[in-house]
Structure formats: C-alpha cells, structure tokens
Amino acid sequence: EGKRVVIGAAAQGDFGVATIRDFGAGIPRDELPFVKEKFFKGSARGRGAGIGLAVCNEIIGMHGGTMDIDSVYGEGTVVTITLPLAGETEQNG
C-alpha cells in the first residue's frame, strides 16, 4: 500500500512497447526464470494463485508479442510488453 507504479508506452518501429514499473519488494533473481510459469508463487507467498503472469504471457504471445520481466529484490520490478502494431488493413477489417 502506498507504493508507486509508473506506466509508460511508446511506438518503436513496427511495435508498441508498454512498461510497468513498481517500487515494491522485487523478485529474487533465482525465481525470475519461473515467474511466468502457471502456479509458480515463489518465496514471497503473497496473495494470488500464481497464474496471472502466466495467463498474461500466453495472451501476449498469442498476439505475436513478448513480456519480459526484470527485477531487483528489495527495489522493484519492471515488466516490458512488446506487441506488433496493426497495419492499416488489419485495423479497418
């Protein structure tokens, strides 16, 4: 509670890039490779079922994008989502 979250978005070539940065507890480096796996909760054992990041990663992948997570334990986490921008024909059906 009371923690800051910074959200940004930009176009980079043919891709849209969104970043979400928090200044919370962070994720231990040895757990980072597993945070996008279904039901992985890690050592923090906070709220949640361990499926949120897995579902997000799957949906983003289905749209041709990627979700990268970088974190420093004790400092916070940055999630970067990259998605291809739709072409003119795709947007107009």
pLDDT tens string 24-76: 889 999 999 999 999 888 776 666 677 889 999 999 999 999 999 999 999 99
Tokens of 68: 């990268």
Question: Which CATH number covers residue 74?
Answer: 3.30.565.10
In a domain, 92, yes or no: no
pTM summary value: 0.83
In a domain, 20, yes or no: yes
Phi and psi at residue 82, to the nearest 5°: -120, 125
Count helices and strands in the chain by DSSP H and E runs: 2, 4
In a domain, 24, yes or no: yes
Domain that holds residue 72: 5-83
In a domain, 88, yes or no: no
In a domain, 93, yes or no: no
**Number of domains within the chain:** 1
Quick check: 91 pLDDT over 50? no
